[in-house]
Amino acid sequence: EYRRILLKEHPRHLGVLNLAVEKAGWGTSLPPGRGRGVAVHEYRSYVAMVAEVTVGERGKFSVDRVIIALDCGIAVNPDIIKAQMEGGMAFGLSDTLASELTLDKGAVKQSNFHDYSVLRMNQMPEIEMYMISSDAEPTGVGELATSVIAPAVANALAAATGQRLRTLPLRLSTS
């Protein structure tokens, strides 16, 4: 509700936020150990994402469901837009959960995918994608979804555990 107040002068931001939270069932309760988080972003186009997580034992958690709402003006090719948004979200989710570059004496230690983790298909959450019908000029999507998933997941983990995480990849404290 606070975010809606902040976005009252920004109808396209508010439109994607309202669509995402509606489709996610925002406001309905989740079982203990589960949480929902939301994030909104704009870079020519407007996107909101809701992530649902389940927290297990010893700091383990999973991202179970992601709802994406998009306003990119006229959707010239909806199938390509959907694929781009899902792919961008998957790339960002890898950074959020697994991918990490470490340095040793100024050099990156990871050299390829054998020591740089990326998520596999079986680790992907259920994804729901919704587009706002618009007659506005098309604005494109690019990597728009990549930057929205991390704050949505971090907010979901905060809702489930009370921990605020601010470093990627996200790792829950076990103490």
How much is the pLDDT for 143?
86
Which residue from 65, 47, 25 is spatially nearest to 132, judged by alpha carbons? 47
The closest of 97, 89, 137 to 117, measured between CA atoms, is 97
The 3-state DSSP class for residue 47 equals strand
Q: In what order do the strands lie in the sheet with 45-55?
A: 34-43, 45-55, 61-71, 126-131
Which portions of the chain are predicted below pLDDT 70? Answer: 175
pLDDT of 142: 82
pTM for the full predicted model: 0.93
Residue 175: its pLDDT value, please?
A: 64
Start-end of H helices in the chain = 2-6, 11-24, 78-97, 149-161
Instruction: Classify strands 61-71 and 45-55 as parallel, antiparallel or unpaired.
Output: antiparallel
Distance of alpha carbon 163 from alpha carbon 39, whole angstroms:
17
User: Per-residue pLDDT tens for 21-32?
Assistant: 999 999 999 999
To the nearest whole number, what is the mean pLDDT of the chain?
94
Pairwise CA distance, residues 51 & 23, whole Å: 11
Short-list 25, 82, 86, CA closest to 50? 25
Residue 48 in contact with residue 40, Cβ under 8 Å? yes
